[in-house]
Structure 1
Amino acid sequence: MPTPLPPHPSTPLANGCFVFITRTMSLTKVRRTMFDIEQRFNNRYRYPYIFLSEQEFSDEFKRSVQFMAGGLNGSRVEFGLVNKDEWRYPGWIDVDRAEKAAEAWADANDYVADRAEWRHMVRYWAGPFAKHPLLQKYKYMWRLEPGSHYTCDMEYDPILYMQANQYSYGFSVSTKEMPDTIPTLFFSLVKYLRQNKASLVANNNSLTWILDEKREYNRCHLLTNFEIVDLDFLRSNAYQDLFAFLDQSGGIYYERWTDTSVRSLAVALLLGPHQVRWFDDIGYRHDALENCPQGVERQMRCHCDPSKSTHLLPMSCSDRWNTSRSIDISKL
């Protein structure tokens, strides 16, 4: 049998928090994810939770998630409202064109989530959320997605690990995005660099992760439904400038770019390989995609099938981090 996990650590925690962006209607999914993260990790650490929404949370929601976080003697829980100006069509967006694009995608793919509200949410995750007042006192964020599962006990603190090793971004799953969702995404990145923006970007990058041998875009994406991030990176001028440029291009509304699209380009362009951590030892599942740790010893604390781990599939890009490196961006 595996040895018992250590009690609450005596060393100080990192300055981090969990973040949900959700609604009252998703309470059941939120509770499911909180149950996992508490049982697998946070009942020994007590990192705080922040819940953000463009709508007021119900009293039942607030009581329920506080209970899941350990009650009055458990983790601190805070609730915040999203700035309404950051959860609507930006002024430069042609609303009719955006709505027709959303309808066309939904008709072709039977994807009912592709409504205006979904677009507003992914745009908010892509950039504005990092400036929310409740997050300003924190350096690290661990994103939690309602309905996602954590399938392994964690024997160490991933946030403290990020801090100790000076990582700026941590992920669990990565895949190749469908080409019809991002037809102009990489073109927009090249355009950004060519419009006198290269001076904002150092040649400390991981661009070979998203480029093949011919230096053509391979559509590799980091799935942001699990991410542990240094918020200083997301709040930096370089990140926010890139986000603003991509936002102005309209791809979030006219195509189907998501926060995953924006974050993946930003990580590849603005961070070196040594600043990014693939948490291959954290058991995580969201819908059909998952990371299940390999090896007998790791499996002792897991409830997942390692043969179903997404990184074993041809569409995965996770292993590419082992060989990613910087390139001269002036040659793009």
Structure 2
Amino acid sequence: MLVRNFELPGALSSMRSLEDRFNKDYNYDWTFLNDVPFTEEFMEATTAMASGKTQYGLIPSSDWDRPNWINETLFNIRLQLMEEKKVLYGGSKSYRNMCRFNSGYFFRQELLERYDYYFRVEPDVQYHCDFPYDPFRVMREGKKKYGFVIAVHEYEDTIPTLWDTVEDYIDVKGEEDQIDMDRNAYNFLTDISVMGSIMPVIDANSDYNLCHFWSNFEIGDLNFFRSDRYLSFFEYLDSKGGFYYERWGDAPVHTIGASLLLDRDEIIHFDEIAYTHAPFMTCPMSYFMRLDQRCQCDYRSDRNVDIKYHSCLMRWWKNGAGKSFLKPI
């Protein structure tokens, strides 16, 4: 969990939800990261809430703060323009640090060196159903590298040149980084076809359809992010300055990186895990599943995004690893 001291109530709420629905049966460790030291109150309260061990890391300035090669004049001009356009978090400097950190540095933290997998948890989220399995075991035994629960569209105003940069990366580094267009999920990123009765809701200015895995929930293989291929991808993007001159989010960066570099069957949609991060929710449509997993969520809610017009999940079913409509025995 990347979290600030003042977010303690939200951190405890998320922990309580995940402990009750999953971790009380497994006692996995909790790792907390912050760019300032954690308070004693924060550490005591979160340690008391956790069923497993807890550890607390201070992010080095070199991994968090704006690098000195960023042109400060251009940065401040772009930041002001995005703020005037009321782009979401467009005027926030710290949000940009967070997005760049989550895109290229979280997996390099010393406290995570002994782990192979991570489960990202945000403050103020909820898990609505008992987990029917250990997702880490599912990842390991199924040879999965990245897992998600929600897929939606990104705000194009935050990433106006990201796809141009990605296309340049493919041209320059694609062969060296072994991008396999026959096996990856590139089509998930570019498909703009009609899905049932749903027309594309985004008229993008590039071939990118703006679909991304909502990275506030993700379970991933740390060794994928540590790989030379992913580091090459991140460093190429980072060199263009878009995390600061624009407001590139870690969600589209993780999504594009995973979709290009992984076999599409190495990406898993955890459709049995019910989750809310405002304003969106995912809740199982299956009546049996809701009973079996003791769910407390309304699948009829407008917040249940799975098959709404602004969801990209159906595009993943079509262009990714497909959809299993029956729960495996």
Report the TM-score when normalising by structure 1.
0.87
Match of 1:121 among 98, 110, 117: 98
Residue 238 of structure 1 deviates from its aligned partner by 0.5
Partner-residue secondary structure (3-state), 2:176: helix
The DSSP-based 3-state class of the residue aligned with 2:300 is helix
The SS at the match of 1:218 is coil
**Does residue 211 of structure 1 match 2:190?**
yes
2:17 pairs, out of 17, 33, 36, with 36
SS at match of 1:257: coil
Return the alpha-carbon distance in structure 2 between the equivalents of residues 223 and 189 of structure 1.
19
Aligned counterpart, 2:262: 271
- Measured in 1, the distance between the counterparts of 2:7 and 2:79 equals 23
Q: Distance in 2 between matches of 1:55 and 1:306?
A: 39
TM-score (norm 2): 0.88
**Alignment correspondent of 1:181:** 158
- Shift in CA distance, 108/46, structure 1 to aligned 2, threshold 3 Å: same
Secondary structure of the corresponding residue to residue 319 of structure 2: coil
Tell me: CA distance 1:206–1:26, structure 2 relative to 1, closer, same or farther (3 Å).
Answer: same
Q: Deviation of residue 111 (structure 1)?
A: 4.5
2:300 pairs with 1:307 = yes
Structure 1 residue 213 displacement after superposition = 5.7
Q: Structure 2 counterpart of 1:257, which letter?
A: W
Q: What percent of counterpart residues are identical? A: 32
Q: Gaps spanning 5+ residues in structure 2: where?
A: 194-205, 322-329
SS at match of 1:277: strand
Could you report, residue by residue, the CA deviation over 1:233-284 in whole angstroms, capped at 9, with x for unpaired residues? 0100000110011111111111121111210110110112210111111010
| Structure 1 residues 169 and 112, CA gap change in structure 2 (3 angstroms) | closer
Structure 1 residue 155, shift from structure 2 partner: 2.1
The equivalent of 1:51 in structure 2 is: 32
Question: How many equivalent pairs are there?
Answer: 303
Kept in 1: contact 2:103–2:234 (CA 8 A)? yes
CA contact under 8 A between 1:99 and 1:116: conserved in structure 2? no
- 1:87 equivalent among 57, 64, 77: 64
C-alpha deviation, 1:197, in angstroms: 3.9
Residue 307 of structure 1 aligns with an amino acid whose one-letter code is R
Greater displacement, 240-249 / 93-102: 93-102
1:272 and 1:325 in contact (8 A); partners too: no
Structure 1 alignment gaps of length 5 or more: 1-19, 327-332
Residue type at the aligned position of 2:316: W
Task: Give 1:110 shift.
Answer: 7.1
1:316 matched to which residue of 2?
Answer: 311
